[in-house]
Amino acid sequence: MQDVARIRDMCEADCQLLDVFDPNDKDLDSISFEEYLKSRGATATALSTGTVWTRAMLGQEPNHVSALYFLNYCKSGGGLLQMRSDRKGGGQHLRVRQGMQLFSKGLSGDLPEGTIRLSSPVTAINNNTGAGAVEVHTKDHTIHARKVVTTLPTPALKNISFSPDLPSGKRSWIEATTYGYYTKAMMVFKSPFWVEKGFCGLTQSFIGPSSVIRDTSSPADNKHILTCFMSGIPGRAWSALSDSEREQSLLKQIGQLFGAEDIVDKEFIQLVTYEWINDEYSGWGCPCTALPPGVLSKLGGGSLRVPWLDLHFAGTETAGEWKGYMEGAVRSGERAAAEVIKALQG
């Protein structure tokens, strides 16, 4: 455990040295996060802990992610410790009791009727009309606008035809970014038996099937839930199981972790999950794309968010701060909106 603390503190210190908006360290970008840990003398236990970090935060294995990218991702949330913290200001501190859709429904309720068009996926964007307007094409409509802001994750941009084609730097981002496997499996129980046994509900596992488990209960609603982060290689193996096998594998793990093998099946109500890997509009994954070694330092950390003609780029992966989180998405939207307003005011 002493080496785990050393590696943790080393990652924290190294990530704090990076410019969150434009990270630049060719040495770090030339190696994977796994190679970075090994080069610093990480023990097997420390390597396994680092694997839990990349799986829980990105759904990726540490040998697939650039060391520079991962450390910058940590810095975007204030650092490795803050991003993984449940304390005030930490990345895991707040949840919305009514669900995240509360925000989108509230915002849409303030807009004039007909402003939002649902079930209208964009197929093409013509950014070269010569008429001072961008054409946004869907299957059934063409929309004309002076400016367009896209918040699509880079993998989903592959589904859109651009005229003229995107600059080579943007295209390189789109081709290089990848998602790992990442699913949140919410195990709903009759009672918080883990609390009654003296546990807070937070665990991490080197072997899985769940890499990290968190207590996401809402006692006021009498909802007792352990959210299991199914990610990386163990998560992908879990996804290949039948529904009943998925439930049983998680019940077995939860029972063993909390010493509740005798009651976990009786307490279990249902498994609720959503597999983002099947969602084409998220780009077949979540929570945020990652880059392999050798890309970030070549393209530049800020190049993804740079406007192109009348097209502006937002979304959580373009954020400097809180990349991969809703906070990053909101900040990127504010930044893109400011760009558009400034350009239109000329």
Q: Is the pLDDT of residue 121 over 90?
A: yes
In this predicted model, which residue has the larger pLDDT, 132 or 219?
Answer: 219
Which of 24-28, 86-90, 295-299 is predicted least confidently? 86-90
pLDDT at 74 over 90: yes
> Maximum distance among all alpha carbons in the chain?
71
CA 127, CA 136: separation in Å to the nearest integer?
9
Q: Which CATH class is domain 182-281?
A: alpha beta
- Is 200 a residue whose pLDDT tops 90? yes
Q: How far apart are CA 92 and CA 89, in angstroms?
A: 8
What single string gives the DSSP state of each residue in 89-131? TSTTS---TT-THHHHHHHHHTSPTTSS--S--EEEEE---SS
Angle at 142 between CA 141 and CA 143, to 5 degrees: 115
The pLDDT tens digits for 4-62 are: 999 999 999 999 999 999 999 999 999 999 999 999 999 999 999 999 999 999 999 99
Average of per-residue pLDDT across 286-295? 96
In the chain, residues under CATH classification 3.50.50.60 are 119-178+282-345
The mean predicted confidence, pLDDT, of the chain is: 95
Kindly report whether the peptide bond that precedes residue 23 is cis, defined as omega within 30 degrees of 0.
no
SS3 273: strand
Pairing of strands 182-189, 224-231: antiparallel
Residue 136 scores a pLDDT above 90: yes
CATH architecture of 119-178+282-345: 3-Layer(bba) Sandwich (3.50)
Q: Give the angle subtended at the CA of 72 by the CAs of 54 and 162, to the nearest 5°.
A: 95
pLDDT value at residue 82: 95
| Dihedral angle sign, alpha carbons of residues 34, 274, 234, 227 | positive
pTM of the full structure: 0.94
CB neighbour list of residue 110: distance below 8 Å, 6 or more residues apart: none
The model's pLDDT over 244-272, given as tens digits with 9 standing for 90+, comes to 999 999 999 999 999 999 999 999 999 99
C-alpha of 215 from chain center:
19
How many separate helices (H) and strands (E) can be counted in the chain?
14, 11
pLDDT at 129 over 80: no
Contacts for 322 with CB less than 8 Å, ≥ 6 apart: 76, 77, 91, 316, 328, 331
